[in-house]
Amino acid sequence: MAQPRALRDLGDLMDCTICLDEPASPIHNCANGHIICGICVDKVRKCGMCQTDLNVSPFAERLSRQFEFKLPCRNQNSGCNEVIAASEMKNHFQNHCYFRDILCTEWKTERCKDVKVPLKEYSKHLQERHKCLTPPSQCFTLKVPTATDLFGEAGLSIPTGILDQDGHTFLLLSQITPTFVYFWMTVLGSKETAEKFMFELKVFATLESGKKVETLWTIPVVAFHDRPKYLQDSTFYAIVPVRTVKEFGTLIEKGKIRQIRFNTSYRIF
Ligand SMILES: [Zn+2]
Ligand SMILES: [Zn+2]
Ligand SMILES: [Zn+2]
Ligand SMILES: [Zn+2]
């Protein structure tokens, strides 16, 4: 951070006694003047040095605003390069940073209960704990509960697909409804990273006659933390009608278990 020396010294004087960084707002202190930043204060009840109560420090806040303290994002080590005003840091860190922890939402094989995973380790978590898929070409199998109600049963879904490419980790997500199967591609990174990539999904089959048929979708990649609500906006989804799945899929019956299998491949470019 390039700031005049006096300012730097002032910044050092105000360092948080817990994380040792320049403090994000709302800056707190104890009766003895020990500073605790607005992020660390959520983890403690009393001053760690003298065990007295903590309150917001209007004076430290005024100094921080007066001198326009700017801080590198707390997630710098995970890849965030943003430098943010101290007053905005907490909001950025908790709500907007593309490198903040991820609440694991994978439930298709096993559900994690409110587990937070650093963005950088999410791919590993998905593979180790949830046995998620990695190959970019795969055959999806969907259970068919009854002859008429193809996808009516709750809980049917396709595990997250993982693809490492160009130094980034991409996750293929999906959602199944009674009428459509939605696919969308996310990147573990920022919006700017996502904008560099497109996602192409192909559903294909070879008919009995030997004729090959395929349907192709090309859609933008989105940042994982920006994933769209799947029914609201169709721009970011490959929306495969269930009738296409039926057309392109093969019905497999093993005793009482009925499944439909269809082939897809995808790529990112
Ligand atoms: Zn702190
Ligand atoms: Zn203290
Ligand atoms: Zn950040
Ligand atoms: Zn998990």
Q: Tens digit of pLDDT for each residue in 82-131?
A: 999 999 999 998 888 989 888 887 876 667 877 889 888 898 998 888 88
Average pLDDT on 221-237 reads 74
In CATH terms, the fold of domain 133-268 is 2.60.210
Instruction: Give Cα separations from 21 to 1, 45, 85, 86, 201 (angstroms).
Output: 12, 19, 13, 11, 45
Q: How far is the CA of 223 from the centre of ligand 1 (A)?
A: 28
Q: How far is the CA of 82 from the centre of ligand 1 (A)?
A: 18
Q: Is the pLDDT of residue 231 over 70?
A: no
Q: For the chain, what's the residue count?
A: 269
Q: Tens digit of pLDDT for each residue in 129-163?
A: 888 876 655 666 666 555 455 444 434 567 788 88
Q: How far is the CA of 83 from the centre of ligand 1 (A)?
A: 16
Q: Is the pLDDT of residue 213 over 70?
A: yes
Q: Which ligand is nearest to the CA of 73?
A: 3
Enumerate the β-bridge partners of residue 211. Answer: none
Q: Tens digit of pLDDT for each residue in 171-191?
A: 988 877 778 888 889 999 888
Q: How far is the CA of 50 from the centre of ligand 2 (A)?
A: 4
pLDDT of residue 135: 63
- Every domain range in the chain assigned CATH 3.30.40.10: 5-96
Q: Give the separation between CA 103 and CA 124, rounded to whole angstroms.
A: 14
Q: Is the pLDDT of residue 46 over 60?
A: yes
Q: How far is the CA of 64 from the centre of ligand 4 (A)?
A: 39
Q: Is the pLDDT of residue 8 over 70?
A: no
Is the separation of the CB atoms in 64 and 27 below 8 Å? yes
Average pLDDT on 17-42 reads 93
Q: Is the pLDDT of residue 18 over 60?
A: yes
pLDDT of residue 143: 61
Superfamily covering domain 5-96: Zinc/RING finger domain, C3HC4 (zinc finger) (3.30.40.10)
Q: Give the separation between CA 54 and CA 37, rounded to whole angstroms.
A: 11
What burial class does residue 256 get, using C-beta atoms within 10 Å of its C-beta: 0-12 exposed, 13-18 middle, 19+ buried? exposed
Q: Is the pLDDT of residue 28 over 70?
A: yes
Q: How far is the CA of 171 from the centre of ligand 4 (A)?
A: 14
SS3 231: coil
pTM: 0.76
Across the chain, mean pLDDT equals 83
Q: How far is the CA of 25 from the centre of ligand 1 (A)?
A: 10
Q: Is the pLDDT of residue 230 over 60?
A: no
Q: How far is the CA of 210 from the centre of ligand 2 (A)?
A: 78
pLDDT of residue 154: 37
Lookup: tokens for 1? 């951070």
Q: How far is the CA of 186 from the centre of ligand 4 (A)?
A: 17
Instruction: Give Cα separations from 211 to 84, 96, 262 (angstroms).
Output: 57, 49, 16
CA atoms within 13 Å, Cβ hemisphere of 266: 32
Q: How far is the CA of 81 from the centre of ligand 1 (A)?
A: 19
pLDDT band at 60 (very low <50, low <70, confident <90, very high): very high
Q: Which ligand is nearest to the CA of 17?
A: 1
Q: Tens digit of pLDDT for each residue in 61-76?
A: 999 888 888 889 988 8
Higher pLDDT, 48 or 242: 48
Q: How far is the CA of 129 from the centre of ligand 1 (A)?
A: 32
